[in-house]
């Protein structure tokens, strides 16, 4: 798991395979300051962007980003948290997997920049 820091906030993500070709992705945002603050990422259906590849650097098998491109014009998702507070967002996806090991990444968009928060292997059942 990678982490990304901006505006006094820490972003982390994790994923787990739920059943078959379904995954659940969790984004956790923590205000690391002592004061109330705000930060934002691209919201709506594009907030969490899992992608499945044949391997790291391999061919793209599936991308949530590509399947909802028109919905990506949604407004920003604002996190408004007291100092030290944490908020988690969970989203489920049906993904395309090939038999055997697949490589998955989870990204968000913050300030016009795409940031990878999680990466790892996921196996088809």
CATH code matching the domain that covers 3-123, chosen among 2.60.40.2360, 3.40.1190.10, 3.40.50.300, 3.30.750.24: 2.60.40.2360
Asked whether the CA dihedral 54, 23, 29, 43 is positive or negative, the reply is positive
Residue 4's pLDDT band, with cuts at 50, 70 and 90, is very high
At 8-66, the pLDDT tens digits run 999 999 988 888 788 999 999 999 999 999 998 887 767 888 889 999 999 999 887 66
- Return the higher-pLDDT residue of 73 and 33: 33
Distance separating alpha carbons of residues 125 and 123, to the nearest angstrom: 6
User: According to DSSP H, which parts of the chain are helical?
Assistant: 64-67
Instruction: Give the global pTM.
Output: 0.84
Q: Parse the chain into domains and list their residue ranges.
A: 3-123
């Amino acid at each position: 798991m990678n982490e990304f820091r901006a505006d006094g906030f820490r972003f982390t993500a994790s994923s787990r395979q739920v059943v078959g070709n379904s995954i659940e992705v969790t984004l956790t945002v923590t205000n690391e300051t002592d004061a109330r603050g705000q930060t934002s990422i691209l919201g709506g259906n594009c907030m969490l962007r899992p992608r499945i590849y044949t391997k790291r650097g391999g061919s793209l098998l599936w991308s949530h980003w590509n399947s909802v491109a028109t919905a990506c014009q949604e407004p920003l998702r604002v996190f408004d948290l007291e100092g030290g507070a944490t908020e988690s967002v969970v989203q489920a996806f049906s993904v395309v997997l090939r038999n055997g090991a697949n490589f998955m990444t989870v990204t968000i968009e913050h300030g016009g920049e795409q940031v990878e928060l999680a990466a790892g292997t996921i196996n088809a059942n």
